[in-house]
Chains A and B, each alone.
Chain A
Amino acid sequence: MPPRGKGPTMLRDAFFKGLRDQRRSLLIWVAAVAVYVVMMCSLFPSIREGAADMQGYIESMPEAFRRAFMGESTDFGNAVTYLNGELFSLMTPLFVMIFGIALAAAQIAGEEENGTLSLLLAFPVSRARLLFQKYGVLVAGTVVLCGAHLVTMLLANAAIGLDVAVSDLVGAHASLFLLALAVATVAFAVGAATGRRGLTIAVGAGLGIVSYLLNVVAQLVESLGWLKKLSVFYYYGGAEPLRLGFRPAYAAVLLAVAAGALLVAWLAFERRDVRV
């Protein structure tokens, strides 16, 4: 028998191979997110003490500005408001989107730019099969990271006594996952259609940034309110997904973006030439 590598079953197909490739990076991301969540949650009790003073300050801000970045509630003594402001309005979606985009770029585009794709396609595996296995890696990675965020938060919630309803936490994380998935799938489609890693990252990051800005601008400028409908961030819950909870109709929009992008990825990858 040939010397078997570590976990030979992980080399059974492109999906498991993809997970194997990501195990180190995934571990680091999960650890980083967990540390960040624990840190932010454990700051809450001391913030709560000073919340009354802060509220005056927060309410003195222009209302449109406040709503754009913090949502409805001004009471930082409430854990939901605090977690929305500190995590869900920017940092957490930023983390998972960066992760998702990087992971998307490592799939078809990554293999093509590294030069491993031309051998990979020499085997009796259809392009569709390869594409969906690669996409599976993206979905699995995003589930794991969002799952780690959720689990850490559930533990912190119980340990620190944040008093946030478990169903709200689960709902917000479902929205978070769908946001990351939508953005990452668009990036994945660019990679599948062009095989360019740089372009994949640029389009993914562009979508994330533009969406965030559109949503903010829509809140700040009343006449541009309709713009928020163009933003994936809006369907995620904007600055306050934890207060808004899981909204099936909004979630469906994010899911539709992901599904549409996946369809484009498939059609484009089936039709095009593969580079050396």
Chain B
Amino acid sequence: MTLVIDTEHLTKFYGSSRGIVDVDLDVEVGDVFGFLGPNGAGKTTTIRILLDLLRPSSGTATVLGLDARADGVSIRGRVGYLPGEYALYPRLTGAETLRYYANLRGGVDWPYVDTLARRLDFDQARRAGDLSTGNKRKLGLIQAFMHRPELLILDEPTAGLDPLVQREFYAMVDEAHAAGQTIFLSSHVLPEVQRVCSRVGFVREGRLVAVEDVAALGKKAVHHVEIEFAGAAPASEFETLAGVGAVRATDHRLGFTVTGTLDAIVKTAARHEVVAMTSHEPDLEDLFLAYYGEGAADAAAGEGADDAA
């Protein structure tokens, strides 16, 4: 299988401060790859090296089989890129902006641009200077998709989008995937990655610490559950259930974490009168810890796995 994105020992220091360290990334043709990590993990740094906006301190990056540095122009001709942060020309309208970008690209199919704009409910007649954050993002997405690129590199594509537009975006990703396009997107939120991606890479403190198939993730997912009972909280009944941890009980309320399915919890709770029950999506950190144990976090922080054992 050919690799669409292939980095080896990719390292970037900003002066003496760490950007990314030794990132070995493999993205295959047809992947929908989620690049997941907290703020400052190094997602944007990696992406900007792929687009030849930044030059690595060491290591190599290959995109579509071409060297990111030497063949930047041909790579960018075949890639659709949404930067994490960007500004538009305030005095141009959306249509003019897209026209300019299409001209820089060449060979863009205009009716398709209109279709994308309609799908995302983007008003092309407004001046870019008057657009809200979400609408600026929409314009960014349209220009990234407009030439049906082989590879889409999207830095936090859903930041600032309302749920309806987010859903439309997910549909666009699904369709691009079905059409054989490869998608590489960064995100902070696991549910999003689980919703659209086939593979996920975890970045922490500048290092790519793990790459997993998304299908395998759910089994280890950690949920935060809170139950409010009419009577006293029956903490002891829950503490002994498999997968339950971190139990906190106040008079009527019980909070705990569950690894795996919620089945046993629901059945146990059903023996009591339940006033309310909430279950939060597992967050990134919990999932990461569930997957790799406490030690992995320290290892990722560069302390060395040995000390953490």
A contact residues around B30 at 8 Å (CB): none
Partner of A124, one of B73, B88, B96, B99: B73
Residue A11 at the B interface, CB < 8 A? yes
B73 touching A126 by the CB < 8 A rule? yes
A116 touching B53 by the CB < 8 A rule? no
- Measured CA separation A124–B92 after assembly (Å): 21
A123 touching B54 by the CB < 8 A rule? no
Residue B105 at the A interface, CB < 8 A? yes
What residue of chain A has the Cβ atom nearest to residue B74's Cβ?
Answer: A124
Residue B292 at the A interface, CB < 8 A? no
- Measured CA separation A124–B150 after assembly (Å): 14
- Measured CA separation A14–B89 after assembly (Å): 13
A contact residues around B143 at 8 Å (CB): 119, 122
What residue of chain A has the Cβ atom nearest to residue B55's Cβ?
Answer: A273
B83 touching A276 by the CB < 8 A rule? yes
Partner of A125, one of B73, B85, B125: B73
Known contacts A3-B95, A273-B55: A123-B125 contact under CB 8 Å: no
Q: A115-B86, A125-B104 are in contact. List 5 more A-B contacts (CB 8 A).
A: A2-B124, A3-B125, A115-B85, A126-B73, A276-B85
Known contacts A3-B125, A126-B73, A273-B54: A119-B99 contact under CB 8 Å: no
Distance of B171 from chain A, by nearest CB (Å) = 23
Residue B103 at the A interface, CB < 8 A? yes
Number of contacting residues on B, CB 8 A? Answer: 39
Q: Mark B78-104, 1 if CB is under 8 A from A, else 0.
A: 000101111111001101101111011
Q: Which of A8, A13, A272, A273 has the most CB of B within 10 A?
A: A273
Listed A/B pairs (19) with beta-carbon separation below 8 Å: A2-B114, A3-B95, A3-B124, A4-B95, A5-B96, A5-B99, A13-B103, A17-B100, A116-B87, A118-B53, A119-B83, A119-B101, A119-B143, A122-B81, A122-B83, A124-B74, A125-B104, A273-B55, A276-B83
Interface positions, chain A 90-135, Cβ under 8 Å from B, are 114-116, 118-126
- Measured CA separation A121–B284 after assembly (Å): 32
B99 touching A116 by the CB < 8 A rule? no
B86 touching A124 by the CB < 8 A rule? no
Residue B51 at the A interface, CB < 8 A? yes
Distance of B4 from chain A, by nearest CB (Å) = 17
What residue of chain A has the Cβ atom nearest to residue B143's Cβ?
Answer: A119
Distance of B107 from chain A, by nearest CB (Å) = 10
What residue of chain B has the Cβ atom nearest to residue A6's Cβ?
Answer: B96
B95 touching A119 by the CB < 8 A rule? no
Known contacts A114-B87, A125-B104: A2-B98 contact under CB 8 Å: yes
A contact residues around B72 at 8 Å (CB): 126
Residue A1 at the B interface, CB < 8 A? yes
Q: Mark B140-156, 1 if CB is under 8 A from A, else 0.
A: 10010000000000000
A11 touching B96 by the CB < 8 A rule? yes
B contact residues around A125 at 8 Å (CB): 73, 76, 104
Known contacts A2-B99, A2-B113, A276-B85: A122-B76 contact under CB 8 Å: yes
Interface positions, chain A 1-30, Cβ under 8 Å from B, are 1-5, 8, 11-14, 17, 21
- Top-6 shortest CB links A-B: A115-B87, A124-B77, A5-B96, A123-B104, A122-B81, A11-B100
